[in-house]
Chains A and B, each alone.
Chain A
Amino acid sequence: MSSTHSLSTDHRYLRMEDLSRLRHRLFASRNVVEGHYAGRHASPHRGHSVEFNDYREYTPGEEVGAIDWKVFGRSDRLYIKLFEHQTDMAVSLLIDASASMCYPAVASDAAPAPATTHRKYDHACMMAAAIAFLAVRQQDRVALAFARDGLAGFHRPHGTFAHLSELLAHMEGVTPGGNAALAATLRALAGRISRKGLLIVFSDLWDNQDDILRALTIFTHRGNEVIVFHILHEDEFRLPNLDDAVFLDSETGSRVRLNAREAQADYQQRLARHLAGWATALRTRGIDHNIVNTALPYHESLERYLFARGGRV
């Protein structure tokens, strides 16, 4: 295993103190994945390996050396041994880089927010960076893609720390904006990913739900495991602390006037139904749905998730 010393500098989205918290965490796939190299994860491919998996009846032309003669001795029938082929995992990270992920950077006045503003995009990148680190550390490969007006920026999966650094740098270089077009992005991404692996989506999912679900289903049908981190700002849970305001949609530019305080109760009810709808829709498709509040430090959210995931795998 490569050590953390391969990362030469601190990155915005992955800092040394965060690495120390995560060094004992493993990130495994629940599904059988397809990989190139020998890794921790189960591979659907049966090949020569040290662990026996199953038998198959001998077909003339196959290697005689694969025949299990002990079984022949007991049954007078010829069978071939099949072995588990342990392989590495390809983790694909898809980060929503649409305008809505920029919140609260352009939250109220026309003047831009300070650079220290923690955007939803930043939160997503931090989570993605941490997962990428875990994956690389356990010799898995990481791919990275951004959803901004479709698939924008795709990094093929690699498992080196140098590759990880490149991914981190790319995250820092992206300026969120425009529409996510998440469904289209997923479809495009599906064409880039040929092997079974793990797809992790970091998005606020403010797109058409049906389109997104159909796109995600492509991955699940192929045997990929899909995890969705539904990232929302605290203001999206409770509404800003305002009276009368005009709310402008960050992506469509539509506007609505209301009193935020008076609307809060009704909004929260509707949001809860919205989130429950997403949870139900994703989980019935075997997709992990995790709601992330950017008010909570990302590493805490991730630790909780990994702890829970470790119990299920």
Chain B
Amino acid sequence: MPTIAAITLSSPAMLAGLALLAIPVIAHLLNRRIRRPVVFPSIAILLATAATQAKLQRWRRWLLLALRCIIVTLIVMAFTRPVWRGSIPLLFAQGKQPDNMVIVVDSSASMAQHVAGLSAMQMVQSQARKTLDALAPGASANVIVAGGTITPAATSMTPDRSSLDAALLAIRPSAGEVDLAAALNMAADMLGTAAGAGEVVVLSDMQATAWRDLPTRLRDGAAWPADTRLSVLPPVWQEVANVAISDPVIRPHAPIAGERMQIIVRVANFSPEARDVRVELASPQATLGRQTASVRPWQSRQVGFEVSIDKPGDHLLTATIADDGLTGDNRVHVVARVGERIGVTVVGDDDPDEPGTASFYLHRAIAPAGPRSRCMVMHLRGEDVTLERIADSSVVFVAGVSRLTRDGAASLHQYVTQGGGLAWLDAGEHTSANMAALDGVRPDSLLPWEFGPVRSGAFTLATGDFTSPLLRDFDVPARDALTRIPLRISHRIHAVHPASAVLLRFSDGTPALVQRTVGVGTLVAANFGVAADAGDIGRHGAMVVLTQSIIDALRPHAARRQDVTVGHPIQLRVAGSEPVRVIAPDGSELSDFSSIATPTHADIVIPRTLATGFYRVEQADRMVAAVAVNADIRESDLRQVDSAATAAAVGDSMRRDKSVAVTAAATPGGDDDAHVALWGWCLLLALVVMGLESAFGTRWRR
């Protein structure tokens, strides 16, 4: 932004309004007053009087013209939004100038906040430069940028102000939080290498994240040289209100093509007023939805979008809100990993088209929408089960099998141990024999429990671990519905395998549903049947929820979607052995990553993410994976911690038997760099001058 002396113009284009100065000038030139003609006896004396008056009139007209030009100029200047950037700091008011100074500049994400047309970083840069300028000529100095990494401007203390000045100008806010403790420790080390009195000046927006637990994270004061002074300059601007968007969630977390999913984001209001926040969800191709959320002061709320994506693959979605004082937290990114339709096999000897059979209920619970469901159902009779036939299925359900052959049992056993998901939903006399056949497959038994004899009666499901991944989709009404379903056949359970987790129990405490991981596969077994003669569960909607939950729990997952906060690493695996490229959010190719390739896949590590957005992994110019990196929401609360109290606490942690003085700047934002918005003053001055012009004009026209 252009600067006039110490004044910065936030909207310099408005200077074009100075062309309006032509108006009073033209009016001045064209001023022709209507003069009344008067025949007077003699104008001899009037001529002498007029000679005296003419000069006075001329001065008065020029004064009025000047006043009118000043009015136009002041109004135009007001529209340019001038900001005055103040004077020298008061750092040295309390004592002698230091011989050495280290300036620590906070470059966390919150330093990108804007106040009165300037960013916090710009204001801090100005303060820092002025602080350097005020140093005595022979003093040495250095600048430490506390950003994603702690970076000194020079390798050692230096008297070269110009290089430090250039380093200050180059500082940009980082995308994440900073480690001020590390920066201060570095400052202490630097001052320890220089003789004479030293001072550390910390310039920060005093946002809580950077100063959290700082006193306890600092080293002992032993590292600090004697006669060191710490100054923490408070911000010269008022706290900025901010609204942030964060924490994207997709439900279900691995949606299927064509399946309706919910994208949920959180909107947080870091301001003292309630806000109506408009949230827009979009992909690179289209806007997917808009909503307006009312958020109370200092509260947050979730906003959900219902979306359906028909094409499998990674879809890059972004939710945005209107830009405000801090723009880095006004958008959040999420990768929606949309999968193919799930292949599910039902093994049963009953007729899936005959109402009341276990297969009948299972088929409808697995694919309730028929061909449009996310699952494709294949049916096998028990005797037809082979590994080849079930190997491609994501989940295999077994229910209503009259007799499981040995080969069938072995196939099921191998299917599970190789990573498949098996759900055994059966109870009755045939179930015991089938379980025994499955148990006979060695070396490791799959059985999650030791079945006892069949029992008939009236059973209901009473308790369960509804926090488990398999049951977490059961909300309160669904749980209530589940526990009301009468069941008639179950088994006594003698023992539950130690590796099994009991998910549901009957009212008498007997395990009703268990889950066991075997090898890389999983077995879920029910102690009840779904056929009509075993109970009523097949007829209830809870059966659909239970079945879908089992499918989600058992099916093999692609690499889970990662949610990374900026500043943190990314680790992911991509299939294939071709060389990979990593593209940063700004479109540039990233070089700072490692890739360990195998014949089947590559493991990629990006040690530190520096920007928010999507990091894309490409193979052969095709995107094979993407990771969304979002801002740290902790940087969004722009409230300032008290600089004096914070400085005192930091000083206490530094001070041991060394004389370490700690001060906060004398006048927060007062005699230090003052960034004062001047447009209000310009308008006020224009009104004053208007009043003068009006008063003079009226008086001289009388």
Q: How far is the CA of A247 from the CA of B41 in the complex (A)?
A: 9
Inter-chain contact B702/A244, CB cutoff 8 Å: no
Q: Pick from B44-52, B186-194, B220-228, B343-351 the stretch touching chain A.
A: B44-52
Q: How far is the CA of A257 from the CA of B701 in the complex (A)?
A: 14
Q: Pick from A8-16, A266-274, A283-291 the stretch touching chain B.
A: A266-274
- Residues of A within 8 Å of B48, CB to CB, are 270
Residue A162, interface by CB 8 Å: no
Inter-chain contact B49/A206, CB cutoff 8 Å: no
Q: How far is the CA of A309 from the CA of B56 in the complex (A)?
A: 46
Q: How far is the CA of A131 from the CA of B432 in the complex (A)?
A: 160
Q: A89-105 vs B: 1/0 string, CB under 8 Å?
A: 00000000000110100
Q: Contacts A257-B50, A258-B49 given: A108-B702 contact, CB under 8 Å?
A: no
Residue B40, interface by CB 8 Å: yes
- Residues of B within 8 Å of A263, CB to CB, are 46, 49-50, 53
Q: Contacts A243-B702, A244-B35 given: A262-B53 contact, CB under 8 Å?
A: yes
Least CB distance, B362 to chain A, in whole angstroms: 105
Residue A188, interface by CB 8 Å: no
Residue B38, interface by CB 8 Å: yes
Minimal Cβ-Cβ distance residue in B for A109: B37
Q: Contacts A206-B41, A251-B42, A259-B57 given: A245-B49 contact, CB under 8 Å?
A: no
Of B39, B54, B701, B702, chain A has the most CB atoms within 10 Å of the CB of: B39
- Residues of A within 8 Å of B35, CB to CB, are 244-246, 257
Q: How far is the CA of A250 from the CA of B43 in the complex (A)?
A: 8
Q: How far is the CA of A139 from the CA of B39 in the complex (A)?
A: 42
Query: Can you offer 5 A-B residue contacts whose CB atoms are under 8 A?
Result: A108-B37, A206-B41, A240-B38, A248-B39, A261-B702
Minimal Cβ-Cβ distance residue in A for B60: A262
Q: How far is the CA of A100 from the CA of B46 in the complex (A)?
A: 15
Inter-chain contact A267/B702, CB cutoff 8 Å: no
- Residues of A within 8 Å of B39, CB to CB, are 103, 106-108, 247-248, 250
Given A243-B701, A245-B36, 5 additional A-B pairs, CB 8 A: A204-B42, A247-B39, A248-B39, A266-B52, A274-B45
Q: How far is the CA of A167 from the CA of B226 in the complex (A)?
A: 120
Residue A172, interface by CB 8 Å: no
Inter-chain contact B45/A247, CB cutoff 8 Å: no
**B40 interface neighbour in A109, A247, A270, Cβ under 8 Å:** A247
Minimal Cβ-Cβ distance residue in A for B37: A246
Q: How far is the CA of A286 from the CA of B329 in the complex (A)?
A: 104
Inter-chain contact B44/A267, CB cutoff 8 Å: no
Least CB distance, B521 to chain A, in whole angstroms: 106
Residue B33, interface by CB 8 Å: yes
Of B36, B43, B47, B53, chain A has the most CB atoms within 10 Å of the CB of: B43
Inter-chain contact A256/B38, CB cutoff 8 Å: no
Least CB distance, A285 to chain B, in whole angstroms: 22
- Residues of B within 8 Å of A109, CB to CB, are 37
Inter-chain contact A246/B41, CB cutoff 8 Å: no
Q: How far is the CA of A94 from the CA of B327 in the complex (A)?
A: 98
Q: How far is the CA of A245 from the CA of B49 in the complex (A)?
A: 13
- Taking beta carbons and an 8 Å cutoff, which residues of A are in contact with B? 100-101, 103, 106-109, 120, 204, 206, 232-233, 235-236, 240, 242-251, 254-259, 261-263, 266-267, 270-271, 274
Q: How far is the CA of A257 from the CA of B54 in the complex (A)?
A: 9
Least CB distance, A117 to chain B, in whole angstroms: 13
Q: How far is the CA of A79 from the CA of B262 in the complex (A)?
A: 156
Residue B700, interface by CB 8 Å: yes
- Residues of A within 8 Å of B52, CB to CB, are 266
Inter-chain contact A270/B41, CB cutoff 8 Å: no
Least CB distance, A102 to chain B, in whole angstroms: 8
- Residues of A within 8 Å of B38, CB to CB, are 107-108, 240, 242, 245-248
Inter-chain contact A270/B37, CB cutoff 8 Å: no
Of B34, B35, B700, B701, chain A has the most CB atoms within 10 Å of the CB of: B35
- Residues of A within 8 Å of B34, CB to CB, are 244
- Residues of A within 8 Å of B42, CB to CB, are 100, 204, 206, 249-251
Q: Contacts A259-B57, A262-B53 given: A244-B33 contact, CB under 8 Å?
A: yes
- Residues of A within 8 Å of B37, CB to CB, are 108-109, 245-246, 248
- Residues of A within 8 Å of B700, CB to CB, are 262
Inter-chain contact B41/A256, CB cutoff 8 Å: no
B43-94 contacts to A (CB < 8 Å)? 43-50, 52-54, 56-57
Q: B13-40 vs A: 1/0 string, CB under 8 Å?
A: 0000000000000000000011111111
Q: How far is the CA of A259 from the CA of B35 in the complex (A)?
A: 9
Inter-chain contact B40/A250, CB cutoff 8 Å: yes
- Residues of B within 8 Å of A256, CB to CB, are 43, 46-47, 50
- Residues of B within 8 Å of A271, CB to CB, are 45
List 10 A-B pairs, minimum CB-CB distance, nearest first.
A100-B41, A206-B42, A258-B50, A249-B43, A103-B41, A247-B40, A245-B36, A106-B39, A244-B35, A267-B49
Q: How far is the CA of A286 from the CA of B441 in the complex (A)?
A: 160
Of B41, B42, B48, B702, chain A has the most CB atoms within 10 Å of the CB of: B41
Least CB distance, A114 to chain B, in whole angstroms: 16
Least CB distance, B43 to chain A, in whole angstroms: 5
Inter-chain contact A242/B53, CB cutoff 8 Å: no
- Residues of A within 8 Å of B56, CB to CB, are 262
Q: How far is the CA of A100 from the CA of B39 in the complex (A)?
A: 9
Minimal Cβ-Cβ distance residue in A for B42: A206
- Residues of A within 8 Å of B49, CB to CB, are 258, 263, 266-267, 270
Q: How far is the CA of A101 from the CA of B43 in the complex (A)?
A: 14
Inter-chain contact B44/A206, CB cutoff 8 Å: yes
- Residues of B within 8 Å of A120, CB to CB, are 41
Minimal Cβ-Cβ distance residue in B for A204: B41
- Residues of B within 8 Å of A108, CB to CB, are 36-39
Q: How far is the CA of A300 from the CA of B35 in the complex (A)?
A: 37
- Residues of B within 8 Å of A244, CB to CB, are 33-36
Q: Contacts A258-B53, A259-B53, A266-B49 given: A247-B702 contact, CB under 8 Å?
A: no
Q: How far is the CA of A244 from the CA of B38 in the complex (A)?
A: 10
Q: How far is the CA of A241 from the CA of B52 in the complex (A)?
A: 19
- Residues of B within 8 Å of A100, CB to CB, are 41-42
Minimal Cβ-Cβ distance residue in A for B34: A244
Q: How far is the CA of A266 from the CA of B702 in the complex (A)?
A: 16
